[in-house]
Amino acid sequence: MIAIVDYGVGNLFSIASSLKKIGVDAICTGDADTIRACDKILLPGVGAFRDAAAKLAASGLDTVIKEEARSGKPLLGICLGMQLLFDKSYEYGEYAGLGLIPGEVRPIAEVIPRDLKIPHIGWNALSFKKPSPLFKYIKEGDFVYFVHSFFGARCEEFVTSVAEYGAPLTASVERGNVFGCQFHPEKSGDVGLAMLRAFAEL
């Protein structure tokens, strides 16, 4: 059973639907005991880093997620959920993240040419940097769907794939049992579903 962490940020309908589609049991929950009882954790998120981090802290689930991740339970952060895994974010200020993966979240405007549009929105190809169990059913060059204006920086050691957008932008990260993807697997067609299946099979 996968716990989809419900901490009041964004709607979880699509992510829950995508897991159901591939026959994986999942539950949307904000309850600490339920999250502890599940064998995997999925951390979604859309919107602003500050609000999400504040809501996670206010619910006390930040501690639960950190403890569970440190105990070795597989954790996957999606989009803003991935960004929350890092030490800190510079999205309109400076805010602390969960600190599960060393690195920081910075504006993509700092690294891409000025003539490119922001946000980085649409389908982009994955370029693998390191092998990952999440890539079991997908291949180099497969397209996934991105929507973001900030990205994971100073985390090179943990980057497993990037997407080229005037600069190589972090597409996925991994540190032991902690995984993150900047793109939306639940909106990336069969490729995204295949990645979620690989996570479910860990």
Partner 1 sequence: MITKRIIPCLDVKNGRVVKGVNFEGLSDVSSPVELGKYYSDAGADELVFYDITASSEGRTIFTDILREVARNVFIPLTVGGGINTLEDFDRVLKCGADKVSVNSGAIRNPSLIEDAAKRYGDQCVVLSCDVKRVGGEFRVFAKGGREDTGLNALEWIRRGASSGAGEIVLNSIDTDGVKRGFDIEMLRAVCDIVKVPVIASGGAGCMEDFLTLFRELPLVDAGLAASIFHFGEVRIDELKRMLKKNGIPMRIVN
Interacting residues toward partner 1 by CB under 8 A: 11, 13-14, 17-18, 20-21, 46-48, 117-125, 143, 145-147, 164-165, 186-190, 192-193
148 is catalytic: no
Catalytic residue (choose from 38, 68, 79, 91): 79
Token pair 């390191």 in the structure block, residue: 130
Q: Is 71 exposed, middle or buried (0-12, 13-18, 19+ CB in 10 A)?
A: exposed
Considering the complex, state which of residue 150 and residue 158 has its C-beta at the smaller distance from partner 1: 150
Strand order from edge to edge, sheet including 159-164: 26-29, 2-5, 40-43, 75-78, 178-181, 168-175, 159-164, 127-128
Q: How far is the CB of 157 from partner 1 (least distance, A)?
A: 26
184 is catalytic: yes
Is the separation of the CB atoms in 132 and 174 below 8 Å? yes
Q: How far is the CB of 11 from partner 1 (least distance, A)?
A: 6
Considering the complex, state which of residue 18 and residue 177 has its C-beta at the smaller distance from partner 1: 18
User: Which residues are catalytic, by number?
Assistant: 79, 184, 186
